[in-house]
Amino acid sequence: MTVSNQLTPEYVDAERGGSAPKVSLRGISKAFMVKRQVVNALAGIDVDIRPGEFFCVVGPSGCGKTTLLRILAGLEPQDGGSVRIARDRTDARNGASSGVASLDEQTKLILQGELLRIWEDDRKTVVYVTHSIDEAIVLADRIMIMTARPGRIKDIVDVAAVFGRPRELEAVRSSPSYGEMFGHIWSQLRTEVTESRDGDINANTAR
């Protein structure tokens, strides 16, 4: 099977009982032409998302988070790399095109606790974009921190290794590990946010 030049998600049957990833992203890149200028949105995104994982994505504005979700959902073709999504029998029965939900807008609508309970009940694989470090920590199994544009993976934080399931949100927030994790994520994100803001300011003054 060739996946190297695959520009739309490839749906494959999940290996039963195995630990095969639910979503495999390999070398995902994407650029847009904006006013005859190339804007590199994503560069070399390489990650495996596990079945039933709650996978959070954080990164500065314009780093390609929405673009990544659109590629995952098959709404936008990537320029390079491959997307492989394992489909199990439940996905087929539900007629779902993918087990990955893009809940970017729903963050405002669904309370965190409620979302967590729903997810703990049915354990669908979720890729969730948020601007809130707090939200990422309380919800995620892993948090992918992205760099400023072009979006690359800066770090992946293994939250599940520290906070198990089921989770009590207040217990997570009052734990000393929460503060440490928050500090770690913010220190990495801060440089990227600064960079992306500086880039925007330069772009504005150059006009």
Ligand X SMILES: Nc1ncnc2c1ncn2[C@@H]1O[C@H](COP(=O)(O)OP(=O)(O)O)[C@@H](O)[C@H]1O
Amino acid at 28: I
- Regarding 107 and contact with Mg ion (CB under 5 A), the answer is no
Q: Smallest gap, in angstroms, from Cβ of residue 31 to ligand X?
A: 8
Helix (H) or strand (E) holding 58: strand 54-58
Residue span 50-69 as binding mask against Mg ion, x where in contact by CB under 5 A, dash where not: ---------------xx---
Cβ closer to ligand X: 22 or 149? 149
* Partner in contact with 61, chosen from Mg ion, ligand X, none, beta carbon below 5 to 8 Å by kind: ligand X
Question: How many residues lie near ligand X (CB under 6 A)?
Answer: 13
Strand partners, 38: 33
Q: Smallest gap, in angstroms, from Cβ of residue 73 to ligand X?
A: 13
Q: Smallest gap, in angstroms, from Cβ of residue 26 to Mg ion?
A: 22
Q: What is the torsional sign of CA 187, 193, 196, 198?
A: negative
Q: Smallest gap, in angstroms, from Cβ of residue 113 to ligand X?
A: 25
Residue nearest to Mg ion (CB): 66
CB-CB neighbours of 105 under 10 Å: 8
Residue ranges in 56-85 that form contacts with ligand X under rule CB under 6 A: 59, 61-67
Residue span 144-163 as binding mask against ligand X, x where in contact by CB under 6 A, dash where not: -----x--------------
| Residue 64 to residues 57, 206, 207, Cα–Cα distance (Å) | 10, 23, 23
Give the contacts of 19 (CB within 8 A, at least 6 positions apart). Answer: 50
Strand partners, 206: none
Residue span 101-140 as binding mask against ligand X, x where in contact by CB under 6 A, dash where not: ----------------------------------------
Amino acid at 14: A
Helix (H) or strand (E) holding 186: helix 176-206
Distance of CA 18 to the CA centre of its chain: 23
Q: Smallest gap, in angstroms, from Cβ of residue 111 to ligand X?
A: 23
Cβ closer to Mg ion: 87 or 154? 154
Cβ closer to Mg ion: 14 or 126? 126
